Amino acid sequence: MRIGILGSGQVGQALARGYGRHGHDVVVGTRQAAVGDLAVARPEDAVRGADLVVLAVRGDAAVELVGSLAGPLDGTVLVDATNPLDASAGAPRLFVGHTDSLGEQVQRAAPGARVVKAYNTVGNALMVDPQLPGGPPTMFIGGDDEAAKATVAGLLRDTGWDVVDLGGIEASRWLEPMCMAWVAHGVRTGTWGHAFRLLRPEV
């Protein structure tokens, strides 16, 4: 697949390198002139012609960026990896929740994009080909477009994930707080190699 990644931070780079290892053609859409040896472009150029785009920017920049790319993103599968983190007052907190979510705000900013929430409940080091003693961890996803979710689920399974679909994009209301549980375990133990797995009878 031709994959555009918006954001060249930890997540953008981890996904770009991981997808590259799987043979995908990856372009990082960034304001930076260069990001190591990765192929980079302006965000609008990284989106154009992509089969799938991953949103991997700071939560507080997500809505404005996606809104500015709403035209080019029309009809595109947009994987939203962001979390609505606000660390301005010390310990991070979520700047939206309960009755709305960043995933829903991203979908509203680009109504024609086929938004799928994914990747927000795990650290970037495990995002592609996670290796854990308990077997493949679970990536929880949500989104309103079934075909887009099938595409994302296929990409996730190909890159080492068990996938659980929690429903529409409003599932972001439950997935975004899950990132705080992931962070809390890391802070308490000083380790960052953990991931969630949903144990269920049918698997």
Ligand X SMILES: NC(=O)c1ccc[n+]([C@@H]2O[C@H](COP(=O)([O-])OP(=O)(O)OC[C@H]3O[C@@H](n4cnc5c(N)ncnc54)[C@H](OP(=O)(O)O)[C@@H]3O)[C@@H](O)[C@H]2O)c1
- Candidates 2, 25, 32, 181: give the one binding ligand X (CB under 6 A): 32
Gap between the Cα atoms of 117 and 139, Å rounded: 10
Return the H-helix or E-strand segment holding 43: helix 43-47
Q: Which of 3, 15, 50, 81 binds ligand X (CB under 6 A)?
A: 81
- Min dist CB 147 to ligand X, Å, is 24
Helix, strand or coil, per DSSP, at residue 121: coil
Please identify, using beta-carbon distances, which residue of 132 and 147 lies nearer to ligand X.
Answer: 132
Q: What is the 3-state secondary structure (H, E, C) of 51-93?
A: CEEEECCCHHHHHHHHHHCHHHHCCCEEEECCCCEECCCCCCE
- Binding of ligand X at residue 63 (CB under 6 A)? no
Binding of ligand X by 185 (CB under 6 A): no
Among 52, 57, 115, 195, binds ligand X (CB under 6 A): 57
Interacting stretch for ligand X, rule CB under 6 A, among 59-67, 107-115, 135-143, 146-154? 59-67
Segment (H or E) for 158: helix 146-158
Give the one residue of 4, 18, 123, 143 binding ligand X; rule: CB under 6 A: 123
Kindly list the residues in this chain that would bind ligand X in the complex (CB under 6 A).
Answer: 7-12, 30-32, 56-59, 61, 65, 81-83, 85, 119-120, 123-124
